[in-house]
Amino acid sequence: MNDNKKKSFKRRDFISTATLAGLSLSTLSTKASIPTTKPSSGKRMIGELEVSAIGLGCMSMTSGHYNPPRNHKAMEAVVKGAFDRGVTFFDTAEYYGPFTNEEVVGNALKDIRKQVIIASKFGFQFDGNRPTGRNGRPEHLKKAAEGMLRRLKTDYIDLLYLHRVDPEVPIEESAGAVSDLIKEGKVRYFGISETSPETIKKAHAVQKVTAVQSEYSLIERVHENQVIDTCGELGIGFVPWGPVTRGFLADKFNEYSRFSDDSRFASVSYYTPEAIANNMALLDLARDWGLRKGITPAQFSLAWLLAQRPYIVPIPGTTKLQHVEENMGAIDVNFTVVELKEFRTELEKIKLVGVREPESALTNK
């Protein structure tokens, strides 16, 4: 074990230390002398929608993409427990499961429906439970929304994203379908995912876009090329999925980690053996800054995202309540302007492997 690993403040160390010392998560954060923003109230605005500053991504609870699917009742307890710990923003999709993820979220939140914000996503065609491709046609989207409402056990969806843009359907038509759903009272706000600045503007011209959800983390920063700024210019929130890079920035893996061919991790470009070995330098940097701030690498990674723009709301996924508690602790972490500049300088010295080229942000994924 190298010195960095001996010194790092990992999730399990964080949880045991906090328990033994009787400390709250917020106690571990360091007060900055020149914060970039006022201390957090725990809430943020994405467009006109108020949500908890950190949400909960629910995909891993049922999808089987990055871990075996969990017991549904146990996952409902995690969703309810997250609300008890301050989370009001819950993210799901018809694709997750498929369909079963929305059922878990709907069952968990039905008794507190008015107190939470449910975001879901549509835009895929299915043959039974098998996804067969994208479908952004208005008639399909409207039919899909009916099934989503039924599974979520609600008569409205707070934030409905087009999960991926259908290249065969003009974005204006898909946006128009959501506009109709909003007029019917079945949807409150419209979002899109993994889209270019040009597509964001086209969709926004038809139906006001409240949020754009795309991957963003210390490792994957491609959307710093115009996408995040476009959101700011248009009054749109930006919701990062994968904010701790599928667990890498939570100190879950190291240079010795390997994945079987049937694992979803094996198909992720920054999870090849070469990429992990190279990108450990970034994890070491997050560890070092975590020690400096008295927080875990995961908390540092989330707090850094929050510090980039006031309209950014990350949605880390987990199946464990202790990780929800840890993630929420990032809300109270402040940075000075000097700290952010210093960290960015150190960050940009690391040449990452397996990440997207900046130009790819200018096309739909």
Q: Active-site residues: which are they?
A: 96
Answer for the pair 101, 63: CB distance below 8 angstroms, yes or no: yes
From CA 224, how far away is CA 127, in angstroms rounded? 36
From CA 344, how far away is CA 351, in angstroms rounded? 13
Enter the DSSP assignment of 35: B
User: Which residues, in sequence order, are CB contacts of 219 under 8 Å at separation 6+?
Assistant: 245, 248, 249, 270, 279, 282, 352, 355
- Whose tokens are 């300088």? That residue is 345
Q: Which helix (H) or strand (E) holds 309?
A: none
Answer for the pair 293, 333: CB distance below 8 angstroms, yes or no: yes
User: Which residues, in sequence order, are CB contacts of 21 under 8 Å at separation 6+?
Assistant: none
